[in-house]
Chains A and B, each alone.
Chain A
Amino acid sequence: GAVVSQHPSWVICKSGTSVKIECRSLDFQATTMFWYRQFPKQSLMLMATSNEGSKATYEQGVEKDKFLINHASLTLSTLTVTSAHPEDSSFYICSAGLAGRNTGELFFGEGSRLTVL
């Protein structure tokens, strides 16, 4: 099946630094990838839709200058948490679907746990 890889799986950083998380579709191309945030025992909250070759679309309430998304190729999207603060500590997950298929069938990465000290 389709595999989505996220890196790093966990990261600890100091307050004020920036952290980049990568999301790769390993065996398929994805024109669109999605970034979610998940708090403990909560469901996934969609943060933004990453579009290959164009600007990301952010959900209401998500700061685009804080959560920078770049989708430079059909297999890679990155999320950069800029000037991270302890409240940004969370589980970040990406997903991708097969290019050209908008049928809701998404494949998720393993997630990246961010802890900001």
Chain B
Amino acid sequence: QKEVEQDPGPLSVPEGAIVSLNCTYSNSAFQYFMWYRQYSRKGPELLMYTYSSGNKEDGRFTAQVDKSSKYISLFIRDSQPSDSATYLCAMSAPGNNRLAFGKGNQVVVIP
């Protein structure tokens, strides 16, 4: 079993829809949970950062972490064409910065 599972299937939604992405993980030591956005031919950009369980909201973006289920989610409200990118979940354990990445979801928001 991989440390982080993210269904890599592409996702196409109409503009204004809610985008829902999720990852599961197996390592109970993970405490830090991140979502990165990566545009084509660019480096990943840190989008959301969460410590332990709970919700975090930043504008149209909401990140949720459920450590009991080892499940994290990212929601994008009122999606825009500029949100079209690949979204990668990542997580790490305390004491080091070695990130375990999901495979990424390519999201396309259709105008």
B-binding residues in A (CB < 8 A) = 4, 6, 32, 34, 41-44, 46, 49, 91, 93, 95, 97, 102-111, 113
Contacts and interface: CB of A to CB of B under 8 A. Distances in A.
Contacts of B42: 110-111
Contacts of A46: 98-99
7 contacts: A43-B88, A44-B44, A44-B101, A103-B32, A103-B97, A105-B34, A106-B99
- Residue picked from B44, B46, B88, most chain A C-beta under 10 Å: B44
Interface in B62-109: 88, 90-92, 94-99, 101-104, 106
By size class, the interface of chain B is 20 to 34
B60 interface: no
Interface of B: 31-34, 36, 41-46, 49, 51, 88, 90-92, 94-99, 101-104, 106
